[in-house]
Chains A and B, each alone.
Chain A
């Protein structure tokens, strides 16, 4: 018997609000099953269970906001998936105890809830001056505290937000602002802490697009591919060869990752951005990559993605798609050490075999962490991705 607890989906997550139970008492659960939906500053996230068993009792009620680590349900006959999980399990008899009271029920007013929030004096003062509800913000300070810059980012984001369309409720605005605050804080930290270097490479993309058109012509819309799928796969394969762009910078050193989990930056309509991962993309066939990509985009659109998808990426692709501009210079998403940007393919005069010809070209950019690699290595990595895109049939 063990407790299923509110997971931590990121260093900056302190609590989550239970939105929906997807299992009920008596249901069999297996490791990896999605059992609940939790609302966080980053949106609604489906949470998985890491051990199997039978749901004996649901402790948390829908609507409750609970700190990370709070028991949500009792799972009977569970087998801890690891030693670490065992350590987390409740000791004998503890399961009988009533659940601790929620830190802040959703019915609480902002004013009362505000008290329980960890925020610095500077953040509180700025928030008070601008009537900002700190509950909407994600902290980037010590122990996840909301600090001055978090509120400042929120305010900048709020200033940029268009007037809310009819029917948009304040909580939605708030969530978006919170997400903007979180993005701002993360990116500010990345810019501050990571010594970025940048490379760009422009090359012919005709072959890939032609191949895609030929392939798609034979397929129904539900099985067609988009160029983004090629980019994900090409990047994933290149990461296998160049391990120093795939992994994490932690505690002052680089940890390479064996799995290549490609985070894919996806815009949220109305503002915001998440980069959920396509796990082990290097091992997936192209149609499977496309399927995962499509699934992610659809779920992001309605705000449902798994915590492990948000935290699992080992490298990120940021693609502008077909309606953007020629290039972008992305910021690394820590603790990752590299991000590849793909611009919008453009048609331009190109010299091929000594003659000027029309060609569709793609500009790929790489931002990488100088603590791990250098420009020479980065250039080879970027060239490898481009080379793979010249042979789409082998992807």
Chain B
């Protein structure tokens, strides 16, 4: 899975979490919690779909690494199960 494919998946999921936000203008470096107005439960939802859709279980301690889109992409690239395969 390329980083671009991964990005499409994340944007798709973020679009469901925050349907009212125009993701086309999302800055990859910005804090998703700010940009998408994600509270802790919404963020937890985000983590949950990463588990369900990508099979990546993110421990709480790692949450800060996924606060931005680019950070999440970096993290997922490192932790995607298929990469290890």
Direct contact of A and B (CB under 8 A): yes
Interface membership of B36, Cβ < 8 A: yes
Give the secondary structure class of B's interface: helix
Closest to A223 in B: B48
Q: What are the interface flags for B58-70 relative to A under an 8 Å C-beta threshold, 1 for contact and 0 otherwise?
A: 1111000000000
A323 close to B33 (CB less than 8 A): yes
Given contacts A222-B51, A323-B33, contact A294 B45 (CB under 8 A): yes
Mask: chain B, 32-60; 1 = CB below 8 Å from A; 0 = not: 01101101111011011011100001111
Contact with B along A206-230 (1 / 0, CB 8 A): 0000000100110011101011100
A298–B39 alpha-carbon span in the complex (Å): 11
Determine the chain B residues whose CB is within 8 A of the CB of A266 once the complex forms.
39
Q: Could you mark each residue 145-187 of chain A with 1 if its beta carbon is under 8 Å from any beta carbon of chain B, else 0?
A: 0000000000000000000011110000000000000000000
* Among B21, B40, B45, contact of A322 (Cβ-Cβ < 8 Å): B40
B17, CB-defined interface residue at 8 Å: yes
- CB-based contact B39/A267 at 8 Å: yes
B22 partner, pick from A165, A226, A297, beta carbons under 8 A: A165
**Is the pair A226, B48 in contact by a Cβ cutoff of 8 Å?**
no
Q: What is the chain A residue whose CB lies nearest that of B24?
A: A166
Interface size class of B (residues with CB under 8 A): 20 to 34
Structural contact, A269 and B20, CB atoms closer than 8 A: yes
Q: Assess A293 versus B41: contact at CB under 8 Å? Given A166-B22, A269-B18, A323-B33.
A: yes
Question: Which residues of chain A have C-beta atoms less than 8 A from B45's C-beta?
Answer: 294, 298
Q: Which of B17, B20, B41 contacts A294 (CB 8 A)?
A: B41
Q: Chain A binding site: helix, strand, loop or mixed by DSSP?
A: helix
CB distance from A126 to the nearest CB of B (A): 29
Query: Given the complex, which residues of A lie within 8 Å of B60, measured CB to CB?
Result: 213, 216-217, 224
B15 within 8 A of A: no
* Complex Cα spacing A213 to B63, Å: 12
Partner of A321, one of B20, B39, B61: B39
- A228 B48 Cβ-Cβ under 8 A: no
A221–B58 touching, CB < 8 Å: yes
B58, closest chain A residue (CB): A221
Check A22 for interface membership: any CB of B closer than 8 A. no
Contact of A297 among B18, B36, B42 (CB under 8 A): B42
Bound-complex Cα distance A221 to B34 (A): 21
Give every chain A residue within 8 A of B47 (Cβ-Cβ). Answer: 221, 224
Question: Given known contacts A321-B40, A322-B40, is B57 in contact with A220 (CB within 8 Å)?
Answer: yes
Closest 7 A-B residue pairs measured CB to CB? A221-B47, A221-B48, A269-B37, A297-B41, A226-B40, A222-B48, A221-B51
If A213-B61, A217-B59 are given as contacts, then 4 extra A-B residue pairs at C-beta distance below 8 Å, sorted by A number, are A165-B21, A220-B57, A222-B51, A269-B37
A-B contact pairs, 22 of them (CB 8 A): A165-B22, A166-B22, A213-B61, A217-B60, A221-B58, A222-B48, A222-B52, A226-B40, A226-B41, A226-B44, A227-B40, A269-B18, A269-B36, A293-B41, A297-B41, A297-B42, A298-B41, A301-B17, A301-B18, A301-B19, A302-B19, A322-B40
